[in-house]
Structure 1
Amino acid sequence: MSFAGATALGIRVEDGVVLAADKRMSYGGFILSRNFKKIFVINDRIGIAFAGLYGDMGGLVRIVEGQMRLASLETGKPATVRNVAKFLSSLLYSYKFFPFNVEAIVGGIDPGGEPKLYVLDPLGSIIEEDYVAAGTGATTAFGLLEHLYKRDMSLEEAKKAAVEALRASMARDAGTGDGIDVLVLPVSGKPSLETIKFRLVEG
């Protein structure tokens, strides 16, 4: 569990990948912001959703973005989702004695058109999954995703499931709330980032 309250999740289906995260920035019981960004677009095919300390998120994203641009220039090939996840994994592991306090979900579409989704813990352990959740509200989100996820669901159904799972986390986790950012990365078409604003979950 991260000290800073947050929940992020990802869902992979045949048509693409959905990443979602709440908008609340809090430490302990104090809310610092109701409009905080936890999803970062690395390029037009790959995104990262974070839960954890906010300074660590920004620092990691800057390093990953720079390294992926450099690698693409050197090789002449676009980065794969696994390239991004593996580099982030190595970076997190290299700081294992003074770890970044984050959990990360890396998702996107490989150059060949295959959707990929990975989750990483603060020490860089990396697992590929069809759906994942991270942060202080992950337990609640996972419980709902277990029920909602189907391999043949559409990308729109995956988006609705992501929002529903995060709303359930907002109802039970004090560190999660104030709206949802949803990044949709389709196999065909352009990515879209949408913000859904609300504070309370109806009981």
Structure 2
Amino acid sequence: MGPVNFSNLSMSNLTSRNKRQLPHRVRHPASLLSIFQNSPISRIFYIQHFNLFLSSCHCDIVSRSSSISPKMTSLMGNQSGTIGYSFSEPTSANVKQHSFYPYTDNGGSTLGITGADFAILAGDTRSTSGYNINSRMVPKVFKIGGDDETGEGATIILSVVGFAADGNALKEKLDTVVKMYKYQHGKSMSVSACAQRLSTILYEKRFFPYYVHAILAGLDEEGVGALYSYDPVGSYEREQCRAAGAASSLIMPFLDNQVNSKNQYIPGSGEGHALVPKKAEPLDKETAKKLVQDAFTSAVERHIEVGDGLQMVIVTREGIEEVFHALKQD
């Protein structure tokens, strides 16, 4: 019998007549494996046709495993798992799912401090997207309820930080509400009423929230500074000071110590646990303004999303004052 042409082996031509023509040593899987390995045909062709031959001949490899050497069994297992084609493998690429994420964080920080007769909101003017600076002059503190151009007539101020587009939308909506209230009732909305209304506006959007941290400030009915801080879905509380935004974790401990007198003790009052804590007292306006500048000067040194300029808005009985200071631009 002449040499066997293994290139013609396939499911279609492996009939009973073909199998009878094969030498006895070829019908055995181990013998066939050695012949295929020594032949010049490709490894992929070898694996494919060897599997087809086993299926056609109905060879029971398990029953013949005693006659196959461990080395040959290991080779068959490794190659069949890594080389060749399997119909169980996916024949197409994974499904691509397109998505849309509507939010981004434009960086920056804001803070607020109140006193006996004033309220201050401040924020830097840098707008970022990741490591890119979009603009060096984007204010984050706004006058609410005043003239569209000058802000004259406003008694309430609002700061927003987070997603700049949502911040502008929230500011415009609250400004419209306050103006409509003044038009309908003939008087300005109080800061406490405005705080409640802002909470309602944020809560209405709880299923698709405004991605901002808002701080509202003004003077209450007694002329005392009032400050309200919010989370994105409308929960709020009145505080003496609050920081929000990228550098809030840097600024808030500073405010806790300097404004709320946390971890401060009266000198000479004792030793160890006998020390008497210092009670928090209302700050005067000039001291508060200096603390605001110090807080942002320090934050700029430690956070890349804060810088360029400092916008400070102060509410008093005389009206609203707006001040700008330069910050580092690196």
TM-score greater than 0.5 by the shorter chain: yes
Residue 184 (structure 1) aligned to one of 314, 318, 322: 314
Deviates more, 1:75-84 or 1:14-23: 75-84
RMSD of the alignment, in Å? 1.6
* Post-superposition offset of 1:77: 2.7
Q: 1:159-182 CA distances to partner (integer Å, 9 max, x unpaired)?
A: 111121122222222111111000
Q: Which residue of 2 aligns with 1:9?
A: 111
Matches within 5 A, 1:52-201: 52-149=162-259, 150-186=280-316, 188-199=317-328
Quote the residue 1:41 is aligned against: 143
Over 6 Å off, 4+ runs: none
1: distance between equivalents of 2:162 and 2:247? 12
- Separation in structure 1 between the aligned mates of residue 282 and residue 310 of structure 2, nearest angstrom: 24
* d(CA) in 2 for partners of 1:86, 1:38: 21
Q: How many residues align?
A: 199
- Give the deviation of 1:40 after TM superposition: 0.2
Tell me which structure has the larger Cα radius of gyration: 2
Equivalent residue of 1:64, what SS? helix
> In structure 2, how many angstroms separate the alpha carbons of the residues matched to 1:78 and 1:111?
12
Residue in 2 that maps onto 1:29:
131
**CA-CA distance at 1:88 after TM superposition:** 1.5
Higher RCO (CA-CA < 8 Å; seq separation 6+): 1
Please, which moves more after superposition, 71-80 or 54-63?
A: 71-80
In the TM superposition, what is the alpha-carbon distance from 1:111 to its structure 2 partner? 4.5
**Separation in structure 2 between the aligned mates of residue 200 and residue 148 of structure 1, nearest angstrom:** 27
For normalisation by structure 1, the TM-score amounts to: 0.92
**Matched residue of 1:20: which SS?**
strand
Q: Determine which structure has the larger strand proportion and give its number.
A: 1
- Residue 123 of structure 1 deviates from its aligned partner by 0.9
Q: Could you tell me how far apart the structure 2 residues matched to 1:176 and 1:197 are?
A: 12
Unaligned runs of 5+ in 2: 1-103, 147-153, 260-279
Letter in 2 for 1:32: N
Q: Is the 8 A contact 1:26 1:32 kept in 2?
A: yes
With structure 2 as the length reference, what TM-score do the two structures score? Answer: 0.58
Task: Structure 1: give runs of 5+ residues left out of the alignment.
Answer: none
Amino acid at match of 1:176: V
Indicate yes or no: 2:130 matched with 1:20. Answer: no
Q: CA shift at 1:72, angstroms?
A: 1.9
Is the contact made by 1:45 and 1:110 (CA closer than 8 Å) also made in structure 2? no
Listed one character per residue, the Cα deviations across residues 104-162 of structure 1 (whole Å, up to 9, x for unaligned) are 11001134423210001111111110000111110111111122215232111111111
Tell me the distance in 2 between the aligned counterparts of 1:12 and 1:40. 17
Q: Partners of 2:319 and 2:198 in 1: how far apart?
A: 24
Query: Post-superposition shift, 1:200?
Result: 5.4
